[in-house]
Amino acid sequence: MPSPFTDAFHAIHDRFFIDGAWVLPARAGTRDLVSASDETRLTTISMGSEVDVDRAVAAAGKALPGWSGRPLAERIGLLERLLAIYTERYEELARTISLEMGAPIDLARNAQARTGLTHLKSFIDLLGRFDFAEEIGTEAAPETVLHEPIGICGIITPWNWPMNQMMAKVVPALGVGCTVVMKPSEMAPLSAMLVAEMIREAGFPAGVFNLVNGDGVGVGEPICRHEDVAMISFTGSTGAGVAVSRTAAATVKRVVLELGGKSPNIIFADTDLEAVVRTGAAACFRNSGQSCNAPTRMLVERGAYDAAVGIAAEEARRTAVDLPEKPGDHIGPLVSRAQYDRVQALIETGIAEGARLVAGGTGKPPGFERGHFARATVFADVESTMAIAQEEIFGPVLAIQPFDTEEDAVRIANDTRYGLNAQVQSADRARALRVARRLDCGMVQINGAKRGPMAPFGGYKHSGNGRESGIWGLREFLEIKAVSG
């Protein structure tokens, strides 16, 4: 794929965006970004330190009074300007995402970059209708609840859906009057840097948005423990989320976590089996399986189980694997060598534990000697005690289990430490709703329903706390003040 980087953008890859300008890091330290598809170097970024975080937080603190005091209409106006620039540079952004994380270009255009645009539009609309001062008292005893910006927000985003997570956090934070210090994933930081440049171009005041590249130890931890940072919004693995919570606890700041998932897709025999199994398997493999809410566990009613296994295996075999720059419906490489090795190890574990491999398996697809390409893989006869039924693999691997009764389906679905998303497929809508109410998860999709941009995104148990999107995502960045009298 031709590089999407303009000379001007490429020139800032070694810099951080602090106090309205692209600045050099305080200390030497770099990381090469490597192509997921051919393992060649794409570019080199600087890796930040606590000194860079301190500079960014200081800039955010200096900007906070003026920014939070601006009329809401002015903040919305700047977000609308950002929306226009985002739209103008949409193709550049999509190609950057495809290049940095290996997403197929059509997926990058139609989903990855699109989610950022959707969040921008949705929050702009919501901000214009949000009541920042609610009257809850009576005429005799007036009381008002004020919703005020919480302050400086530390935002840490992942590599798998970089624009979705960045815009779901940054837009509401800026919109309500907070200032931001952001650390994107060091594996896919370029799209975030491109949006930082868009923010500069839109004319946001210096210090309102700041970006420091680096890893968790060098940049993430200093953000989390900084006394002046009022809240942390983090998306990533459950293990990293636990570390974020521990580090942030000493300064009693708010922590919002969107973590891992092992989402069940419950399929009853009364549904259109061919359609729902193919759709479910394809959703598992989408983005090369690198989505926290992917339906990676398919639970099928016993009478339809054998047929479902055959359909899922066929869908895996027909799932094309190709280079990210190629147009069309296919999956690309995994993001890194480490991720590829993890997926391969868990496929091997599934085989060793006795699950029946019906499609895919270890190794790369034919024709791919370089790059982090994995095969779309399906296991049948999986048991809940197996690692592939419990661990978030984050690769194109589907685990299928049978169930006998509605009670059985709910028990198996809830038998995991995660609780992010679930799907229920049944012609009996009353049954589907009944099952949905009993699932320990933050989101349920019935019969293929799509999630709307205003629906809250988040989970139960080890899938995190707090919510993104809609009014719930806006409130995460607001403090509550009760005024009586």
Q: Point out the residues that are catalytic.
A: 258
Q: What is the DSSP letter of 452?
A: P
CA 133 to chain CA mean position, Å: 31
| C-alpha dihedral (215, 221, 223, 226), degrees to nearest 10 | -160
Separation CA 86–CA 89 (nearest Å):
5
Q: Which residues contact 463 (CB under 8 A, 6 or more apart)?
A: 238, 258, 259, 260, 261, 292, 418, 419, 420, 441, 442
Query: Cβ atoms within 10 A of the Cβ of 484, count?
Result: 9
The maximal CA–CA distance of the chain, rounded, in angstroms, is 77
Residue tagged 């609308």 (tokens): 80
DSSP state of 331: B
Count of all residues that appear for the chain in the document: 485
Q: How far apart are CA 431 and CA 434, in angstroms?
A: 5
- What are the backbone angles phi and psi of residue 236, rounded to the nearest 5°? 170, -155
Which of helix, strand or coil describes residue 288? helix
Which residues does residue 452 pair with via DSSP β-bridges, in sequence order? none
Name, in order, each residue with C-beta under 8 angstroms of 390's C-beta and a sequence gap of 6 or more: 262, 384, 416, 417
Non-local CB neighbours of 133 within 8 Å, separated by 6+ positions: 144, 145, 146, 147
Distance CA 388, CA 262 (A): 10
